[in-house]
Chain A
């Protein structure tokens, strides 16, 4: 039992190394010179060379990678090419906002998704099932930047109920759990929750329907168990798969909210990435992608460990 957990945890090391390598090289493979962001095109060549040396861009790539990794391990991801601030502070303050948004969105999406999915799967083929499935397909298919703008038009412009952008009153990016801040969270969180809601609904629905067709459900009925108790058995069978999907979705929400964050000017990693791309700010790009990727790895590790607790068969593999 513990050997499975140990093995699963040790896997994280090579995965992390590979991830950081890809983060580093992908950014260097993309077109554009990082120096463009730092110095003006007509700067004298000595200045360019000096700045290059300051950022370490003059060294060969493998050496840059080595240096970057060894510093990253110590928590130093370099400094932004655009504004000279430390990447680590920039990324973490953005990450805090993104996490807030992602957790809020996934709470909405997963709660609705699990409820709808379980109901639709249990009453498979009923009218309820058809309505829920239609809703879920809609949720998966709707482009969320469009939905975001639609919600802004309705709730901010027309009804004037909720703010259309930012993470709080004024220009500060601090957060506190007060209505003045929470109302900023509602629209982006709802917008972002629609896709995970759809995905989770469909997964849970399919899994519940699948499990209900298993022979052991008939055997549970034959034991005289009440429907409520049988449902509990079904849910425990569905949980590992549902959890895996939810873990992945939370990962996507962390990294994939670029469009929604941009639409709502939410000061998270998405907005940070977006700006970094336009400014060719390589250190910020690398740092943000690395942190997000590590988050994804950690999330998957957690999902795997919880899954193994729920389904004893997994540990055998």
Chain B
């Protein structure tokens, strides 16, 4: 793996994006993030040099299949990964704070206040033996030092904000008394309880019914606009990404392989992996035809290939692809891809 020299940053377009955005507009800056999980005799390189930026009020979707490192990247932004077994390298800056250098106390003040998270399974993300209202009030009390009663009053406002019917009664529900969609709304209320500047959403609609998915997506989009916060949305669902985001970052085997606006990624993808992803979508005109899938499977991240991680599955791969990690190439103002064979796609 070649470490990017300072000169290389000239060619890394996210850096260009970074420069384009004035300092006050930028909220998240992730540089060369590496997350490795260590266990005896094994080291899984889950994330291998991710660069990301996010402007204020922007919605970025990280798109990728299971094991591509998208959830790990998200958790690294809050340092939620098990400390003993994880090593995180690189640089994470959120709202002017260096997340990786925070003390325990600073970290706990940052979590849930500056940045908060919505989880994939809302039913599992609430403590089953506490009332939902108390769980929200507890967060407000923690960060704003208000009384429990005031926290509950905030919880009620939030329940109304996320459009939970008969909000007052619902506050005293236990998690098992709510449906999946309802508890995801409650989860969103919890995440928004201290007006975070960055909202991280880890596949928040995956565990829900299709009709409920749409409702939750629309709600999230409305709330994002209303509150003007930045959102990083992790999903493997291209439809969801299309619906909600301003920009998409496609991850494969622990790296971002392509970034661009929604239009650029969905309609004019350049990286062979992104192209393959878009072709594997099922849509109306394909009826009766065989769905084209990407052959092979993702690499074992305990021993990733030395070059481009997608090379073993790529029809355009050459010797060069097998040997060297491709650098990012600028394709547009926000659009870039990391591939040796961009001309051939």
Residue numbers of A with Cβ under 8 A of B are 214-216, 218-226, 229, 233, 236-237, 240, 310-313, 316
Q: In the complex, what residue of chain A is closest to B78 when comparing beta carbons?
A: A222
Docked-complex contact B124 and A214, CB < 8 angstroms? yes
**Cβ contacts under 8 Å, B129 to chain A:** 236-237, 240, 310-313
Q: How far is the CB of A80 from chain B (nearest CB, A)?
A: 49
Task: Tell me, yes or no, whether B37 is within 8 Å of chain A by CB.
Answer: no
Give the residue name and chain of the A residue nearest to B116 (CB): A222
Q: Taking the nearest CB of chain B, how far is it from the CB of A94, in angstroms? A: 40
Q: How far is the CA of A218 from the CA of B80 in the complex (A)?
A: 7
Indicate the size class of the contact surface on chain B: 20 to 34
CB distance from B173 to the nearest CB of A (A): 9
Whether, in the assembled complex, B48 has its beta carbon less than 8 Å from a beta carbon of chain A, the answer is no
Give the shortest distance, in Å, between B175 (CB) and chain A (any CB).
9
B111 is contacted by which of A216, A221, A229, A240 (Cβ under 8 Å)?
A221
> Do the beta carbons of B125 and A224 come within 8 Å of each other?
no
Task: Judge if B259 is at the interface, Cβ distance under 8 Å.
Answer: no
Between A and B, 21 residue pairs with Cβ closer than 8 Å are A216-B125, A216-B127, A219-B119, A222-B78, A223-B111, A223-B112, A223-B142, A223-B190, A224-B112, A224-B142, A224-B143, A225-B108, A225-B112, A225-B138, A225-B142, A229-B138, A236-B127, A236-B130, A237-B128, A311-B129, A313-B174
Most buried by B among A220, A222, A233: A222
Contact residues of B with A, CB < 8 Å? 78, 80, 108-113, 116-117, 119, 121, 124-130, 138-139, 142-143, 174, 176-177, 190
A273 to chain B, nearest CB (A): 40
How far, in whole Å, are A224 and B174 apart by their CA atoms in the complex?
Answer: 21
- Other A-B contacts than A220-B127, A223-B142, 18 sampled, CB-CB below 8 A, are A215-B119, A215-B125, A216-B125, A216-B127, A221-B111, A222-B111, A222-B117, A223-B112, A223-B116, A224-B108, A224-B142, A226-B142, A236-B127, A237-B128, A311-B129, A312-B174, A312-B177, A313-B128
A216 — which chain B residues lie within 8 A by C-beta? Answer: 124-128
Bound-complex Cα distance A229 to B143 (A): 13
Residues on B with C-beta less than 8 A from A223 are 111-112, 116, 138-139, 142, 190
- Find out whether the CB atom of B176 lies under 8 angstroms from the CB atom of A222: no
